[in-house]
Amino acid sequence: MSPTATTKVLIIGYVWPEPRSSAAGGHMMQILQCFLDQGWELTFSSPANPGEHKEDLVALGIRECPIELNNASFDRFVAELAPDIVLFDQFMMEEQFGWRVEQHCPNALRVLETSDLQCLRHARHQRLKDHLKHASAEDDFSPLFAQAQQDEFQHMAETDLAKREIAAIYRCDLSLMISEVEIELLVEQFRLPPTLLHWCPLMLERLPEGFAPFEQRAHFLSIGNFRHAPNWDAVLWMKNRVWPLIRQQLPGAQLHLYGAYTPPKAAALHNPAQGFHIMNWAEDALQVMSAARICLAPLRFGAGIKGKLLDAMLCGTPSVTTPIGSESMTVPDLPWPGAVEESATALAAAAVRLYQDQAQWSDAQAAGSQLLAARYRQQVHGPALIQRLQHCRQHLAQERRDNFTGSMLRHHHHKSTQYMAQWIEAKNRP
C-alpha cells in the first residue's frame, strides 16, 4: 500500500448510530470521529431500518450503504469497496458477514466493537431473576454486586451466548472493549490472549467548563433507552422501592425519567401525584441533565460502562448508583461523584443527603470533573486506538498465525454459516 493512500474503513452496524438514544451509539460516533480525524474514507452499512433518531452520517462525510442479510449483493459490494479495515458493530454482525468479508477481502483487518460484553449482561440478568424469586422486600442485592470473577465465569460459560460472542472475538483480529473489568474477565477466566483486546472507553474531546450551581437546580433525573433491559429494570426498582423511600423524606420531590422509544408499559407508570414523571425522549439530554440536581441510576445488572453517568459528570450533576453502575468507571484514590450503594434504603438515603447538603453536593460535582480528566480524554484514547489499528495492520500475518484458535474457529464457523446463508438466499428467490 502506498504511504499516501487513503485508508478505507467499512463499518457494519447492528443498527444505524443514534448517539442521543444510547451510550453505544455515542461510542460508535466517537470511534468514527477518530477515523475521520485521520482523513480515512468511511462507509457505514447496516441491515437494520433507520431508527427515529438516526445520526446524519452523510453530513459528516461518511457514505451510507444499506445492506441485506443472506444476500450475495453484499459480496459484490464489499469486493468493489475493498476496505482496508472492517469494523463489526456487535458480534452478530461478525457472525453474519465475517465469512463474506474474509472470502472477498482476506487482507482487511477485522475489528469487533463489542459495546459491552453481552453474555455478561445476560448472565447477570438471569442471576437477578433467580435472586428475585427468593428476595424479601428489604433485600439489598449485595450478593449480586459482590460476585467474584470465577462466579461470573461459571454463570457465563454455560450459555450459548457466551460461546457465540467469545468465538466472534477470537475470529476477529482485534476487539474493542469499553470496560477494563470485561478485559480482565476474558483474559483471566476465559484465557483469551490480551493481544486480541484493546481498551477503548467513552472518549471526550473537551472537558466541561462551568456548571449550573446547586441553587439553580431542582428535581431528580433518570435517563436511558427504555428498550435496554437494565434501564427498564432500574425504572421498576425506582418506582416500587427507591422513589417511595425518597418521597417519604422529601414529600415534594420530583423525578423526571427520560428515555428513547417509550413503550406503553413505561408510559403507564406516569404519576404526577407521586412526583414520578415519564418524560419520553429528551431532545437534548445534556440540557435536562444540567438542570437536575441529582441523577439516579439504580442499576441491578448490566455490563460495559454507563453513558448516562458520564453525561452526569459532563453536566456537573452528582449521581447515585450501584456497583454495577460505577463498574469500570472509577480511578483508584478518586471518589465517586455522588454515591454508590447496594440497597434501596441506602440509595434513597444517599440521594436525599446529596439533594439537601450543598457542601457534599459541590464536592461530588468537583469529583466528577477530576474523574473525567483522569480517564476519558479523547486526546489519550483516540491516538491509542489508531496506533493499535496501524500496528495490527502492519503485523497482520504474524498476528493471525499467533491466533490459531481464531483461525480454526473461522474455518469451521464460516463454512457452516456460508452454506446456511446460501441455502436461505436460494430459498428466498422467487
pLDDT digit string (tens) for 63-86? 999 999 989 999 999 999 999 999
Segment (H or E) for 258: strand 255-258
Q: Let me know whether 48 and 175 are in one domain.
A: yes
Residue with more model confidence, 194 or 259: 194
> In the beta sheet, which residues pair with residue 110?
86
Return the SS3 of 7.
coil
Q: With both helix axes pointing from N to C terminus, report the angle between 118-132 and 149-157 in degrees, rounded to the nearest 10.
A: 100
Q: Mean of the pLDDT values across residues 331-336?
A: 93
Q: Let me know whether 68 and 162 are in one domain.
A: yes
Q: Output the CA–CA distances (angstroms, integers) from residue 346 to 50, 298, 352, 424, in the order listed.
A: 41, 11, 10, 53
Among candidates 20, 51, 29, which has minimal Cα distance to 289? 20
Q: Is residue 136 part of a domain?
A: no
Q: Let me know whether 256 and 360 are in one domain.
A: yes
Q: Output the CA–CA distances (angstroms, integers) from residue 413 to 74, 296, 317, 403, 419, in the order listed.
A: 19, 43, 47, 15, 10
Give me the pLDDT at residue 426, please: 72
185-213 pLDDT per residue, tens? 999 999 999 999 999 999 998 888 889 99
Q: Given a cut of 70, is residue 421 above it in pLDDT?
A: no
Predicted TM-score (pTM) of the model is 0.91
Distance spanning both ends of the chain, measured CA to CA: 43
Q: Is residue 209 part of a domain?
A: no
Q: Is residue 262 part of a domain?
A: yes
Q: Let me know whether 171 and 301 are in one domain.
A: no
Domain containing 319: what range? Answer: 214-375
- Residue 408 and residue 410: Cα distance in Å, rounded? 5
- Residue 112 and residue 115: Cα distance in Å, rounded? 9
Give me the pLDDT at residue 20, please: 82
Confidence class for position 416, pLDDT limits 50, 70, 90: low
Q: Let me know whether 405 and 267 are in one domain.
A: no
DSSP state of 178: S
Q: What does the mean pLDDT of the chain come to?
A: 93
CATH code: domain of residue 322: 3.40.50.2000
Q: Given a cut of 60, is residue 1 above it in pLDDT?
A: no
**Residues 105, 168: contact at Cβ < 8 Å?**
no
User: If you write DSSP's letter for every residue of 21-86 in order, what string do you get?
Assistant: T-HHHHHHHHHHHHHHHTT-EEEEEESSPPPTT---SGGGT-EEEE--TT-THHHHHHHHH--SEE
